[in-house]
Amino acid sequence: MAYNASNISVLEGLEPVRQRPGMYVGSTSVKGLNHLLYEILDNSVDEHLAGCCDKITVSLNKDGSATVTDNGRGIPVDLHEKGWPAERVIMTTLHAGGKFDNTNYKTAGGLHGVGSSVVNALSQRMIIEVSRDGKIHYDEYERGNPVVDIKEGELLPVTGTTRATGTKVTFWPDPTIFETVTFKADAIRSRLKETAYLNPTLTITFTNARDGKKPEVFSEPEGIAGYVDSLASSNPEIKRITETVAISGCRDGITVNIAFCFMQTFGDQIVSFCNNINTMEGGNHVNGFKAGFAKVINQYARDLGNLKPKDAGFTGNDTRNGMIAVISVSHPAPRFEGQTKTKLDNTDVQNVITAVMNTSLQHYFDRNLETLKKIIARAELSVKTRKEEEKIRTNLGDKKFAFEGNGKLARQESSDPSKCEIFIVEGNSAGGTAKTGRDRRYQAILPIRGKILNVEKQTVDRILVNEEIKAIVAALGCGFMQGYGNDFDISKLKYSKIIIAADADVDGGHISALLLTFFFKFMPELIYAGNVYRAMPPLYRVKPKRGKMEYIYDDKALADYRKTHGNNFDIQRYKGLGEMDAEQLWETTMNPATRKLKQISIDDVVDATNITSILMGETVAPRRQYIEENADKANVDV
């Protein structure tokens, strides 16, 4: 086949966005859909950070559109050097914006200059109304193309006069791009409340016209200290140990705000942000906080005599035992790993946070000795528990605690992790069928016996000796993140896809929930990196009197099938994976060309933590209350 200049395609304007939407908004699922709104919201928040906006309104409208309105300066509408109004340049050109020279925006979340133009490209329709200089300026687009007819050198049409300033953006997501165009209101609500905590002088009003509820107003003058209090009170069964501590500082143009408290629980919960962006995977601001906090606590512990000169000192995990913390950093030139902006890469921020910890934190502890003593006591408890774990490991006969598993893993032939995947299946019956039907070159099968341990309810010693958990950890090969030690290394993961293949029934759903709880609590990086999936096996196989046999995956699809076929077909209901033969299991659940997989993701790590604790934890009262309040929603999506 000839390959020459005629084979080279050049995508003009916003066409690259429509061709590869996942590169710009992460996915075409509801997560990517909500991301469109967040991009517009971030522009309004950046106006607030510039000191020019204190009110934002977000509306989900009955016609499927979304509207974001702010009282900022308004997008510039004067002529750009390109010969067109600046608003149109911003909305139709990638990497065009006012955030590249630090003149108008000292700190900003949307720094790539692609936000507004990407939303425009992926919208069926978009309307821009800019209030500034006493006038309301109007522009409109369809799938990224202007529909308001102006010639080069002309300004936008004016539709009215006003004393207000600001920008109003209304957009209708393109149904030919996204799998759904129904915004996930709960996730948006969480994002807005989170944004209000991070910006204590900002007021955000949220209206969801689709459910008919009254508008909600989010205003959090206590800032991230109030955020910590909210997290601490999310599960009333867990008692507080300390009050909320809030410290801040500024150096080299970088502003740091930190708030934390300690609870009567194990492990830590750290939520971090940079320029209002939730850095779920952490980064150097989190690393600096952890190192700085451990250094300060160890120094005080030695000064107070809790640690003797010969003692090794507390580990970082020891000092954060029971901590809930929120870290918010404002940086003039943040660098994030990847377009998804989930990990902060700047090295200078680590030194700034360490300096803040050395001054502001010490200043607080010098005046609040009782709070300090409670934190040191938690660290001492952590050391005691860690030593008990080490005894358990020694009793198991393996000081390095390399899991041996139960010997049931059917390995694949390839050793290339990027090509390999592992199916975790319940029971020997399904395991045997999967072993027969798989592609032995790349697919491994790990059968487990029934429901694994619910790690949310168990002590660490019970978890460490559980055979099914040991088998899973041994198969994955990347170690295990314990409560107080950490030998987890995702670079050693043997499989690019970890696929939970449970039956499509209540028991299968429970098994999936238990496995996901385990991964979320002890190997969350696997979920953040997109390595965890759930297989979607069919519920039915149907064969019409005349026609092709098909697989149907849920009851709604079966009802739709009946509308076109009546009752003129044979139907088989699969009670479990073990009822399929190897060929059927391969075709429906294991063949990459025909199977359906759901990738497990976390939109909001705080909500995920709280819901996991409520639904899978030991205490009954919060679970009963949650079920009563959410029973009509049928499914909990985290």
Is the model's pLDDT at 622 over the cut of 70? no
Q: Rounded to two decimals, what is the model's pTM?
A: 0.73
Given 3-state DSSP classes, what are the helix, strand and coil percentages for the chain, each rounded to the nearest 5? 35, 20, 40
Q: Are 261 and 244 in contact (CB under 8 A)?
A: yes
Is pLDDT larger for residue 124 or for residue 462? 124
Query: What percent of the chain has pLDDT above 90?
Result: 47
Contacts of 366 (CB under 8 A, 6+ apart): none
pLDDT digits (tens, 9 = 90+) for 267-285: 788 999 999 888 888 899 9
Grouping H, G, I as helix, E, B as strand and the rest as coil, residue 354 is helix
Which helix H or strand E contains 464, and what residues bound it?
A: helix 460-464
pLDDT digits (tens, 9 = 90+) for 170-213: 999 999 999 999 999 988 999 999 999 999 999 999 999 988 88
**510 or 351, which is more confident:** 351
CA distances from 617 to 186, 223, 359, 620 (A): 23, 29, 38, 8
Given a cut of 80, whether residue 121 has pLDDT beyond it is: yes
Q: Which of 42, 129, 503, 603 is catalytic?
A: 503
Of 426, 468, 604, 607, the catalytic one is 426
Given 337, 404, 507, 581, the catalytic residue: 507
Instruction: Tell me the angle at which helices 224-232 and 185-198 cross, rounded to the nearest 10 degrees.
Output: 130
Q: Which tens digits make up the pLDDT trace of 56-65?
A: 999 999 999 9
| Per-residue model confidence (pLDDT) at position 469 | 84
Q: Do 574 and 537 meet the contact criterion of CB atoms below 8 Å apart?
A: yes
pLDDT digits (tens, 9 = 90+) for 242-271: 999 999 999 989 999 999 999 988 778 899
Q: What is the mean pLDDT of residues 23-31?
A: 84
Work out the number of other CB atoms within 10 angstroms of the CB of residue 363: 11
In this structure, are residues 40 and 183 in contact, taking their beta carbons and an 8 Å threshold? no
Please, is 88 exposed, middle or buried when counting C-beta atoms within 10 Å of its C-beta (0-12, 13-18, 19+)? buried
Are 271 and 277 spatial neighbours (Cβ–Cβ below 8 Å)?
no
Q: What number of CA atoms fall less than 13 Å from residue 584's CA on the CB side?
A: 19
Mean pLDDT, residues 322-334? 93
Average of per-residue pLDDT across 583-599 = 90
Question: Is the pLDDT assigned to residue 484 strictly greater than 50?
Answer: no
- Give the mean pLDDT of 376-391: 83
Domains of the chain: 15-218 (3.30.565.10), 224-395 (3.30.230.10)
pLDDT at 15: 77
- Confidence class for position 546, pLDDT limits 50, 70, 90: confident
Which is higher by pLDDT, 24 or 609? 24
Token couple for 312: 């090794």
Contacts of 232 (CB under 8 A, 6+ apart): 240, 244, 261, 263, 324
Sheet containing 569-573: give its strands across. 550-552, 540-544, 569-573
Percent of the chain with pLDDT over 70: 83
Question: Catalytic residue among 154, 505, 555, 570, which?
Answer: 505
Does pLDDT of 372 surpass 70? yes
125 forms bridges with which residues in the sheet?
172
Asked if 426 is an active-site residue, the reply is yes
507 is a catalytic site residue: yes
